[in-house]
Amino acid sequence: MTIRIGVGFRGMLARSGNGWKNWGAGVRGESEEIPEGGAHPSRGRARILVLVVGLGCLLVAGAWIAYGRQAKTQQQTKATGSGPGGQPARPVPVVVAPVRTGDLSVYLTALGSVTPLNTVTVKSRVDGQLMKTHFTEGQVVQAGDLLAEIDPRPFQAQLMQAEGQLARDQANLANARLDLERYRRLAQQEMIARQQLDTQEMMVSQAEASIKMNTGQIDAIKLQLTYCRITSPITGRVGLRLVDPGNVVKASDTGGLVVITQLEPIALVFSVPEDSLQPILRRFRPGGKVPVDAFDREGRTKIATGTLVAIDNQIDPTTGTVRLKASFGNTDGVLYPNQFVNARVLIDVLHDAMLAPAEAIQRGPQGAYVYVVKPDKVVQMRRVQLGPTEGAVVSVRTGVADSEALVVDGAEKVQDGARVEPTVRKASPAGAPATPGAAGAPSAPPRAPRPGA
């Protein structure tokens, strides 16, 4: 098999060894036969060229399809003012809530631990056998109530001995005083030496000192007898029993018999950042009562209300916080020792502030903004400057006016200049609990930023 090449290529190919080589210009009108093996390089280059052209066509077609879809999506997104055929677009349904003017209480929230004002470990002050306990585990006892009894018989025997010794010393003292009177009369008559009289006077003094010592010993034994009856030193709740009746207890035991914890009133200790200390001091120093509210760990349910009673005298250098202590009446017993609660301290009250729902606040690269629904039901995007937040309410310093309607639901479906169909949200029931938030920090999670915001 041979391949014929037009004469136009003559002179371009020349034989060089076993291959072909380009030499120069060709001449028209002539042809030449080329063996089959010599056309393989040209055929391979042609195949590569076809593949490159086909791949390029596929890339161009894919780019054209993607661009068409993107343009269609953008056209559908921007088509809020007009629909198909030039007709007006259907209004977007949204939920709105009005801006209102009012007072906003600014709170500082911190995690704290409930601490009893008094905790007593009841111990025996004498050595002896525990005969009986007069309390039930978990019982609320009053100060002075009998808790336990120690065997008093050894101390009763010691008391009897001491009283007998006292009676003997009193008899000796009476005899010594009679002898002293006799010696004085004999000394006046110079019938005895002066030294004998002085000795008798010392004997009387020794007998008197012995009586005083016996009296003190009797009082000590009586005191130990009172220690055999263990009473409650404070009013509080009794814990679990640590020693059972029948065991021998000693004054040197470290465990004790039972632990009593005072529950009414009770304290709450919590820490706040040092940067938040000055607003608290401004309200605490004049002597006014600073309210402190205790919420559960989730921060949703209010447990109790108390007052701030003490501020620590130094800042912890390792954490940069200062400890505060609040007191609660706890007459209902809702606070329990070592319970973790959220403490909220009232640090300021903003009067006549612009208050907006936290759900209406949107956030973008340029900051916070809201969608305001004008009377003609057209949305207008406004940038706002936010103030402190409390629960689901945000104070807005600039950007909105009183009674303006803000989009709180459906903001992701509208943009500036869109026409909407607003529905006013029903007001929350009075007294509904609000989640406490830190002062100046929004309680609602921030929304994703919108393009162009």
Residue 313 is given by DSSP the state: S
Q: What is the pLDDT of residue 348?
A: 85
Q: Which helix (H) or strand (E) holds 435?
A: none
Residue 445 is given by DSSP the state: P
CATH of residue 211: 2.40.50.100
Vertex 342: Cα angle to 339 and 348 (nearest 5): 145
Same structural domain, 47 and 132: no
Identify whether 377 is part of a domain: no
Identify whether 340 is part of a domain: yes
Between 29-38, 121-130, 244-253, 419-428, the lowest mean confidence (pLDDT) is in 29-38
Q: What is the mean pLDDT of residues 336-358?
A: 91
Q: What is the pLDDT of residue 72?
A: 59
Helix axes 153-188, 194-227, angle to 10 degrees: 160
Identify whether 409 is part of a domain: no
Between 99-103, 211-215, 296-300, 448-452, the lowest mean confidence (pLDDT) is in 448-452
β-pair partners for 271? 323
Of 294, 320, 348, which residue constitutes the final position of a domain?
Answer: 348
Identify whether 136 is part of a domain: yes
Share of the chain above pLDDT 70, in %: 80
Same structural domain, 127 and 254: yes
Same structural domain, 292 and 265: yes
Of 214, 234, 258, which residue constitutes the final position of a domain?
Answer: 258
Domain count, the chain: 3
Q: What is the pLDDT of residue 285?
A: 83
Average pLDDT, rounded, for the chain: 82
User: What are the DSSP E strand ranges found in 200-289?
Assistant: 229-231, 236-238, 248-249, 258-261, 266-273
Of 348, 383, 418, which residue constitutes the final position of a domain?
Answer: 348
Same structural domain, 40 and 166: no
Q: Provide φ and ψ at 278, rounded to 5°.
A: -60, -45
Q: What is the pLDDT of residue 211?
A: 93
pLDDT at 381 over 90: yes
Identify whether 201 is part of a domain: yes
Same structural domain, 253 and 266: no
Residue type at position 384 = V
Same structural domain, 310 and 219: no
Identify whether 184 is part of a domain: yes
Q: What is the mean pLDDT of residues 21-41?
A: 45
Same structural domain, 55 and 27: yes
pLDDT at 301 over 50: yes
Q: Where does residue 7 fall: left (phi above 0), alpha (psi -120 to 50 degrees), or beta otherwise?
A: alpha
Q: What is the pLDDT of residue 315?
A: 94
Query: What tokens does 240 get?
Result: 């679990």
Same structural domain, 49 and 9: yes
Residue 3 pLDDT level (bands cut at 50, 70, 90): very low
Residue 447 is given by DSSP the state: P
Identify whether 430 is part of a domain: no
Residue 39 pLDDT level (bands cut at 50, 70, 90): very low
CATH of residue 307: 2.40.30.170
**pLDDT tens-place string over residues 55-95:** 888 888 888 787 776 655 555 555 444 444 445 568 899 99
Q: What length does the chain have?
A: 453
Same structural domain, 129 and 234: yes
Place of tokens 């029948």: 246
Identify whether 335 is part of a domain: yes
Q: What is the mean pLDDT of residues 184-204?
A: 88
3-class SS at 240? Answer: coil
Residue 28 pLDDT level (bands cut at 50, 70, 90): very low
Residue 350's contacts (CB-CB under 8 Å, 6 or more residues apart) are 103, 104, 105, 106, 387, 388, 395
Q: What is the DSSP string of 273-307?
A: EGGGHHHHHHHHTTS---EEEEE-TTS-SEEEEEE
Domain that holds residue 45: 2-61
Instruction: Provide the whole-model pTM.
Output: 0.59
Same structural domain, 241 and 304: no
Same structural domain, 11 and 40: yes
Query: What tokens does 290 get?
Result: 């600073």
pLDDT at 11 over 50: no
Q: What is the pLDDT of residue 178?
A: 92
pLDDT at 13 over 50: no
Q: What is the DSSP string of 13-44?
A: EEEETTEEEE-S---TT--EEEEGGGGHHHHH
CA 298 to chain CA centroid, nearest Å: 9
Same structural domain, 305 and 294: yes
Vertex 130: Cα angle to 240 and 159 (nearest 5): 140
Q: Which helix (H) or strand (E) holds 46?
A: helix 40-78
8 Å CB contact between 239 and 256? no
Q: What is the pLDDT of residue 75?
A: 55
Residue 371 pLDDT level (bands cut at 50, 70, 90): very high
How many CB atoms are closer than 10 A to CB 140? 15
When computed from its CA atoms, the radius of gyration of the chain, rounded to whole angstroms, is 50
pLDDT, greater one: 125 or 35: 125
pLDDT at 133 over 70: yes
Residue 52's contacts (CB-CB under 8 Å, 6 or more residues apart) are none
Query: What tokens does 161 get?
Result: 């001995």
